[in-house]
Every structure is written in C-alpha cells, then in structure tokens.
Structure 1
Amino acid sequence: MFAVHCGPNVEFKGSEPATYQSSDWAQRGFCSQCGTHLFYHLLPNNEYILPAGLFQDEQFELESQIFIDEKPSFYELKNQTRNMTGQEVFELFASKD
C-alpha cells in the first residue's frame, strides 16, 4: 500500500468515517457504507496515514518503506528510502507508550 503521512489535522467531508481499534496504539477508518479503507490513525502522536489513491493531482516523494521484510521479491523501488522491518516498526511504536 502506498500511503501519505498527513499529520494530525485531517478533516473528512460528508459522512463521518467508521473506526475500528486495531491495536492499543492505532485505529483504522473506513466508509461505513462501502467499506473503503480511508485511514490508519496512530494514537500516540495523533498522526493520520491515508492511502495515496485518495488524492488526485498531488505530487508525493517516497521517503520510507515499512515491513520491508515482507516485500515481494519481484519488485524494487529505485529511489533510496528509509527501510524498516515489521519488527522495527512495532518496536518504534511500542517505545512511545
């Protein structure tokens, strides 16, 4: 999934998204009518992460890859990024408790 880190100031127009508490430190947001995934909300720092496909005509720069240890071997991104394994991601957020 390609996602955009949007910080804490995210507003949704129209219906309020439904949420699901997926862990002690995060919740997921989705459309209650069609089930479309709308965001991942990191609770410790109040950061919203939204799928890049929700944005039109925006330019983004890929800065990091997470769960790199689960990446299929048949593709490789060309630019240099910060790469984190799943374990490193969980350790990062566990340390914020």
Structure 2
Amino acid sequence: MPATTQHTGSCLCGAVTLSVEVATDAVAACHCSLCRRWGGGPLLALEGASSIDLVGEHNVTVYPSSEWAERGFCRHCGTHLFYRLKSGEHHAVPVGLVDQGHGWHFATQIFIDEKPSYYDFANDTHDMTGDQVFAAFNGEDQ
C-alpha cells in the first residue's frame, strides 16, 4: 500500500462530502458505550486519518460527546461523519462512508472490555481495553 491513500464519500442526502487521507488500510471497531449508543452497534472506522476535508461543512453539526471528544454528523440526514479528539490530533471516520471496494483490513478492537456479550467478531484482531486505549493516547507503554 502507498504511504497514504485518498478516499471520498458523502452523507446519505449528499449535503456533506468528504475526502480523507489515511496511512493504512486498517479498520478498527470501537465497542465503547458511547459509540454503541451513537450508532446502535460498534463503530467501524478508519483510525488516525491524517486529513479530512469536508465540503458542505455548514451542514455539519458537532456534538461534544465527552470531555475529550466530539462527533460530527449531517444536520439534514443524520449520517455519522467523524469522531475526533477535541485536541485535534486524532480522527476516526466511519469506513462505510468511503468504502468503494478498497481492500480494508479489520485490525483492531478497542474498549473490548465494554463489548456486550450478544455479538463477537471472528477476525483475529489486536484488542485493547479502555484503560489501554487511554494509556496509548497518553504515550504510556502497554
């Protein structure tokens, strides 16, 4: 895979289009209670997008979902557009927004300690608890 790849997509109604640059083809699942409440299940996302360009940004509503993060969605159709740390150094984009047949690889599951028992993924992934995720963002060794 090249150093970075560019992917484009849009919300359901087309009011917002986005272009995202990623350095990996890895997809992560977040099982935290907020992501599950936001979308009805785990968030499957491209983690660490190096740049996100939005067209129609005036149609984006940003909701501060915690002390450290916020979520963006289309104010017309409700499509989930991104999750980002308020500090700006981390973005996650739902892979379904930009999936146009690219060879994505399911690599990581985070907040695995919050995953409910009624579903499991069969993929062999790197699994991290919530504490491990926060430690990684704080630069602590695992």
Q: TM (normalized to structure 2)?
A: 0.55
Q: How many residue pairs were aligned? A: 95
Per-residue CA distance 1:49-73 (angstroms, 9 max, x = gap): 0111112222211121011122233
Match of residue 32, structure 1, among 46, 61, 75: 75
Aligned to 2:136: 92
What's the secondary structure of 1:87's corresponding residue?
A: helix
Residue 18 (1) aligns with residue 61 (2): yes
Aligned to 2:94: 51
Identical pairs, percent: 43
Q: Matched residues in 2 for 1:6 and 1:12: separation?
A: 16
Give the unaligned 5+ runs of structure 1: none
The structure carrying a bigger strand percent of its residues is 2
Q: Matched residues in 1 for 2:67 and 2:129: separation?
A: 20
What amino acid is aligned across from residue 31 of structure 1 in structure 2?
C
Q: CA RMSD in A?
A: 2.3
Q: Indicate if the aligned counterparts of 1:39 and 1:50 stay in contact, CA closer than 8 A.
A: yes
- Per the TM alignment, residue 13 of structure 1 is displaced from its structure 2 partner at its CA by 2.1
Q: Matched residues in 1 for 2:84 and 2:102: separation?
A: 21
Structure 1's 44 and 81: CA in aligned 2 closer, same or farther, altered over 3 A?
farther
Give the unaligned 5+ runs of structure 2: 1-42
Q: TM (normalized to structure 1)?
A: 0.75
Q: Matched residues in 2 for 1:43 and 1:15: separation?
A: 17
Aligned to 1:79: 123
- Per the TM alignment, residue 80 of structure 1 is displaced from its structure 2 partner at its CA by 2.5
Q: Indicate if the aligned counterparts of 1:7 and 1:46 stay in contact, CA closer than 8 A.
A: no
Aligned to 1:70: 114
Q: Indicate if the aligned counterparts of 1:68 and 1:84 stay in contact, CA closer than 8 A.
A: yes
Per-residue CA distance 1:27-82 (angstroms, 9 max, x = gap): 11111122222100123452210111112222211121011122233443333222
What's the secondary structure of 2:109's corresponding residue?
A: strand
